[in-house]
């Protein structure tokens, strides 16, 4: 059984989907820690409801990115975490974590990479008028959404309707991430 930490900055819907898949026995892993850069994020409540420890640190309270990541790394090591699963974590991972977890950090992104990397991928796709976007799960490297692709799924863009497009993407994200983690850990 793999020991993982889930990193999130927002509501934690992907965390919830992963935890439920673990509870069903679909993924051979245990979430040892939830890490967030937003101490007030809803993911902290979701984790507490599942009795999963939360590390909520505001990067602004640290002198540097390295100091912030060193504090995270200390908790990851204390919890014997083997894989980092980024699920709506809105920060670039730096060299401290990349060096400690080579090829053991994965991310989910709401586009068919390499198209529309970075922030607001859905907005980028809609602004470009594409008919199909999607979801990508990839390994994390030092670039922004540039790591090796593990799996992708296409999602139709609902013309002129960002809200519906986002809902469709989130629905695909939950299934895709579960499928990837099942493949990696089972």
Is residue 27 in some structural domain?
A: yes
Is residue 130 in some structural domain?
A: no
Is residue 56 in some structural domain?
A: yes
Q: Please state the φ and ψ torsions of residue 18, each to the nearest 5 degrees.
A: -65, -45
Domain of 143, in residue numbers: 2-108+137-150+172-185
Is residue 124 in some structural domain?
A: no
Q: Which tens digit of pLDDT belongs to each residue from 75-88?
A: 999 999 999 999 99
Q: What percent of the chain has pLDDT over 70?
A: 100
Q: Which tens digit of pLDDT belongs to each residue from 136-169?
A: 999 999 999 999 999 999 999 998 899 999 999 9
Q: Which of 46, 45, 40, 41 has the alpha carbon at shortest distance from 19?
A: 46
Q: Which tens digit of pLDDT belongs to each residue from 41-92?
A: 999 999 999 999 999 999 999 999 999 999 999 999 999 999 999 999 999 9
Is residue 125 in some structural domain?
A: no
The verdict on whether 170 is a catalytic residue reads: no
C-alpha distances out from residue 145 to 25, 103, 155, Å:
30, 14, 18
Q: Which tens digit of pLDDT belongs to each residue from 10-26?
A: 999 999 999 999 999 99
Task: Supply the pTM of this predicted model.
Answer: 0.94
Is residue 66 in some structural domain?
A: yes
Catalytic site residue from 109, 128, 138, 174: 109
Is residue 165 in some structural domain?
A: no
Is residue 121 in some structural domain?
A: no
* Residue 186 scores a pLDDT above 90: no
Q: How many domains does the chain contain in total?
A: 1
**CATH number of the domain residue 42 falls in:** 3.40.50.170
């Amino acid at each position: 059984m793999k020991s993982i930490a889930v990193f999130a900055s927002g509501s934690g819907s992907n965390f919830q989907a992963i935890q439920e898949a673990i509870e069903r026995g679909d993924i051979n892993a245990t979430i040892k820690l939830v890490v967030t850069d937003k101490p007030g994020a809803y993911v902290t409540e979701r984790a507490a409801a599942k009795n999963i420890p939360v590390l909520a640190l505001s990067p602004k309270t640290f002198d540097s990115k390295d100091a912030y990541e060193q504090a995270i790394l200390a908790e990851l090591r204390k919890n014997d975490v083997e894989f980092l699963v980024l699920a709506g974590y809105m920060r670039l991972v730096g060299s401290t974590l990349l060096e400690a977890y080579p090829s053991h950090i994965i991310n989910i992104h709401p586009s068919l990479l390499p198209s529309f990397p970075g922030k607001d991928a859905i907005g980028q796709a809609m602004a470009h008028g594409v008919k199909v976007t999607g979801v990508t799960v990839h390994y994390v490297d030092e670039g922004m959404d540039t790591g090796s692709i593990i799996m992708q799924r296409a999602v139709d863009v609902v013309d002129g309707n960002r809200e519906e497009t986002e809902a469709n993407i989130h629905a695909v994200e939950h299934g895709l991430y579960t499928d990837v983690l099942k493949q990696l850990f089972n």
